[in-house]
Chain A
Amino acid sequence: MSNNLKKGGDEADFTKPLLVPIKRRSFFMYAGATAGATALLLSGCDDDDDNGSNMPGMVNVGSGSVGVLNYAYALEQLEAAFYTQVRTGTYYTGLAAGSAEKQILDDLYYHEVIHREFFKAALTRDAGTAIIKPLEPDFSTINFGTRASVLGAAKAFEDLGVSAYNGAARFLGTDNAGLNYLVAAGKIVSVEARHAAIIRDLLSEGSFLDADVVNVGTNGLEISKTPSEVAAVANTFLKDGSKLNVTGLV
C-alpha cells in the first residue's frame, strides 16, 4: 500500500479512547445524553461542540453505526420532504403528463420516501431508543414554482446525499452489523448518484460529473464531504429545533 492511504483513519485520532465507549454504549445512552457529555468532559476534551448533545434545538445523531444511520435518516427525511413538496408546487403540477421531467420527479419522490422509511424501520428495530425524531424542514428559500429553483435544489440535495454517504461510511462499525449497514448504505448511495446524474443532465446536458462533484482531471473520484460539512448545508434547510448536531461523527 502506498502511504497516501494510511491505515487508521479515526483510529489514529487522539480522541479514539474517548469515542470507543460512546460507540459501544450508543444503544443505551440516548435516554440521557449526559452520559456522552460526561465522557467527553472526563477525557479532558474542551471543545465547545461537545455540549451540542444538550444544545437546545439541535438534534444529535449520535456516534458509531447508529449515528451514521440517524445521519442518513435525517438526510433522507430532508430529500423525501423536498420531493413531497415539489409535487404540490406549480412547477411540477404544470408539467405535461408523461413528460420525462414529471416521471423523473415522481421516481425520485418514490425512491426518497422509501429510503426514509427504510432507515426509520431499521433504526426502530435496531436502536429504538436512539432514533432521531421526525425533522421539520424549511424550504422557504426554494421557489417551487420555477424549474430552475426546483431542479437546482434537487441537484444540491442529490449531490449532497452522495458526498454525505461516501464521507460517513468510515464511521460505521466494523462488526457484523456495521458491515451490513455499510452494504445497505452502498445500495442507496449509487441510486442517489444515478439521481444526481440525471438531474444535472436535466439542468445542463452532459454535466453529470462536473468538477464540482468529481475530481475529473486528477483521479476521477467523487468529492466526499464530512458530516460537519454536510450538516452545515443541511441545516440551512431545517427549522430551529430540527437542526443537526453531528459532532459524534468525527
Chain B
Amino acid sequence: MNFFHILSEIEKTDPEVFERFDSRRQVFKHMTGFGKKMTAAALPLAMGAIFNKAYGQTTSAPGVNDVLNFALKLEYLEAYFYNIGLSGDGTIGNNTTTAAQTALRAQFSATNLSSLLKIRTDENNHVNFLRTALGADAIAAPAVSQFDFTGGKGTNAGPFAGLFSNAALFLAVAQSLEDTGVRAYKGGAPYLASNKDVLTAALNIHSVEARHASRLRTMRRGGPMNDNASATAGAGTGASPKSWISGQDGGGASPAQTAPIYAAGSAPAYTPAGITFPAEDNVTQGATGAAAGVNLQTALASLSFPAAAFSEAFDEPLDVPTVSTIARTFTITGSTIF
C-alpha cells in the first residue's frame, strides 16, 4: 500500500487534500519520513484517523479563515455558474462568449440580461475579494469540471438538464444558489465576530447576495423577456409579488432538489447557545441562549397581519454541514469541494 500514491490520486480530484490534513500543507507534503515510521498494521488505522480529520465533521468551531474559505467555495460555485451560462469558460476572468452563451443571452430582455451580467460580475469580484483577503490561506480554485449544475453528479443530465440553454431553468438555479448563499453567510457570521473588519466585509457580501436573490425572484415572476418584472403581480393567483422568502417558499424552484435550501438545518455541537437553524417559515425570534425566543406571530396577534408576514420578515441562517450538503447537489460524484 503506497500511502503517498493514494494521496496523489486523491489530489487529482481534491487539490486541497494536503491542506485538509494540515493547513501547513507544504510541511506535510514533504514530510517524507511519515510513511516509513508506520508499520503496515497501523497504517489503516492511522489513515482512518487522518481522513476523519480531513473530511469528517469538525467538532470545533470554525475559525475566521475556515469561514472565509467556505464562503470562497460558495462564491466559486456561484461565479462558475454565471460564467458558464453567460460568458467565458467558467473560470474567473475569462470573458469570451460562446455561441451557446449568445443563444441563452438572447432569451432575456436587455434589462434582465444586464441584471444577470451585473450579478455575474459581483460573484467574480467576491471570489477575487475573498482570495485577496485570505492571501496564502485561500483554497486553490476548483476545476470547473468539479461542478455539474444540472444536478446530475457529473452526467450533465440531472434534473436541471438544459439550464444553460433554457432561461427559466437558469433563473431557477440562480435563485437557488443565491438563497443558499444568503443563509450560509448568515450562519457563518458568529465565527467572524472576533475580527470586526472581516465581519463587516462578510456582511457587505451577504446583503448583496440578498439583493441578487430578490432580483432573481422578480425576474422569474415576470419571465425572462419582461423588462418591467417588478410591476408584475403574481400570475393569475392574486399572490403578492414577493421578492422575499415566504414560508418555506413552497420548497423553492424545484422542490425535489431545492427544498433543503428553505428547510431547517442542524446545529453542530460547537454552535453558540441560542443560535438555531430553523426552516425559513420560522416565526420565533430573539433567543439569546440565556433567554428563549418569542413567537412573534402569537405575541403580535393583535396586529391581525397575514400569517406569512411573520416568517417573511426574517431570513434564517444555515449551518455549514447543511450548506455543504446542498452545495453537493451541484458537484460531481467523488468531488470533495464541499
Residues of A within 8 A of B (CB): 1-2, 4-11, 98-101, 103-104, 106-107, 110-111, 113-115, 117-118, 121-122, 125-126, 162, 165-167, 169-170, 172, 174, 176-184, 186-198, 201-202, 205-206, 208-209, 214-224
Q: Interface extent on B, as a size class?
A: 35 or more
Could you give, for residues 230-263 of chain B, a 1 whenever the CB lies within 8 Å of some chain A CB and a 0 otherwise? 1111000010111110000000000000000000
Distance in Å: Cβ of A126 to nearest Cβ of chain B: 7
What DSSP secondary structure best describes chain B's contact surface?
Answer: helix
The residue from A121, A170, A182, A201 contacting B229, defined by CB atoms under 8 A apart: A201
Sorted nearest first, the 6 A-B pairs with minimum C-beta distance are A9-B196, A220-B125, A197-B214, A193-B210, A220-B122, A110-B309
List chain B residues, Cβ under 8 A from A10: 196
- How far does the alpha carbon of A2 sit from the alpha carbon of B195 in the complex, in Å? 13
B288 and A216 contact, CB distance less than 8 A: no
Describe A's contact surface by its main secondary structure: helix
Chain A residues, Cβ within 8 Å of B209: 190
Contact of B230 among A4, A196, A205, A221 (CB under 8 A): A205
22 residue pairs of the A-B complex, CB under 8 angstroms, read A1-B134, A1-B198, A5-B133, A9-B197, A100-B233, A103-B233, A104-B241, A118-B296, A122-B294, A126-B288, A165-B203, A166-B200, A176-B274, A182-B189, A190-B186, A197-B211, A205-B228, A209-B212, A214-B208, A215-B125, A224-B203, A224-B204
Q: B206: CB under 8 A from chain A?
A: yes
Are B229 and A107 closer than 8 Å at their CB atoms? no
- Tell me, rounded to whole Å, the shortest Cβ–Cβ distance linking B9 to chain A: 32
Do the beta carbons of B218 and A198 come within 8 Å of each other? yes
Query: Does A176 lie within 8 Å of B211, measured CB to CB?
Result: no
The answer to whether B65 and A1 have CB atoms under 8 Å apart is yes
Cβ–Cβ contact B291 & A115, under 8 A: no
> B-side interface residues toward A, CB under 8 Å?
64-65, 111-112, 114-115, 118-119, 121-126, 128-129, 132-135, 137, 182, 185-186, 189-190, 193-201, 203-215, 218, 227-233, 238, 240-244, 272-275, 285-291, 294, 296, 299-300, 303, 305-306, 309-310, 312-317
Known contacts A114-B296, A165-B203, A197-B243: does B198 contact A205 (CB below 8 Å)?
Answer: no
B291 contacts which chain A residues (CB < 8 A)?
A: 125-126
Identify which of A4, A165, A184 contacts B132 (C-beta below 8 A). A4
- Asked if residues A188 and B313 are in contact (CB atoms below 8 Å), the reply is yes
Given A98-B238, A195-B244, 10 extra CB contacts under 8 A: A1-B65, A100-B231, A103-B241, A107-B244, A187-B285, A189-B206, A193-B214, A206-B215, A222-B208, A224-B203
